[in-house]
Amino acid sequence: MYFPEKLPIQSSINEGGVVIKAHSNIAAAGMLIALSVGFALAGKFLPVAGIVFIILWPLPIFLTTWRLGLAGALYCLLVAEIMIFILIGPTYNAFLSMPSLVGIAIGLSMRCGYTKLRALSFTVMVSLVAFAANYFTALWVFNIDVMIKMDKATAVIAGKLPDSLGNAATIFIVGLTGIAVLFAVVNYGVAMLVARRLQLRKNFMEL
């Protein structure tokens, strides 16, 4: 795996190519912002394949973090989120905001040279926090109680209404945890495949 010895902006200053490197950073940022927005639009409007783009939404954020660092990734993410907010709306925009932290976690892990186990553990932890934050955002900001909806769906399948939300709450917590872990593992695995491909181009950090 290729890890740069210096951050892109550091190499720009030290090697005297400030203007060229700055332009390349801006070009890379624009490309990755467009990729992020493209993933979001595909996830929203493509009937079946859109699910894949939603699941892999953190991938462009991972590339941004790996290429530009944390500050650059946050800036690009902010711009992408504003564009998604304008094009699609606040609910979908908020839905994508928290899982993007998974992409940042993977990118930071690679830049810091974490071991695979440590990087995956860090990614899973961030994913759990992100999914929990998404649930409470839906509940407190948009007044959408996912657990209640799941409880009603479970009751329809079972053919009877439960006496309380106790069982549904347990199922919901276990299900949310499992989804968050699977989400992290899938994105980490795909990110590793992408990074392995990019290893053939060791000048990726210097585009």
Residue 205 has pLDDT above 70, yes or no: no
Q: Radius of gyration (Cα) for the chain, nearest Å? A: 19
Contacts 24+ apart (CB under 8 A), 145-148: 146/172, 147/172
Average pLDDT, the chain: 76
pLDDT digits 0-9 by tens, 31-84: 888 998 999 899 888 888 888 998 898 999 998 898 888 988 899 989 998 998
The structure's pTM equals 0.73
pLDDT digits 0-9 by tens, 79-106: 998 998 899 888 777 778 888 899 999 9
Q: Cα dist. 137→44, 54, 144, 172, 199 in Å?
A: 19, 18, 9, 16, 38
pLDDT of residue 204: 43
Angle in degrees, CA 199, 66, 31, rounded to 5: 95
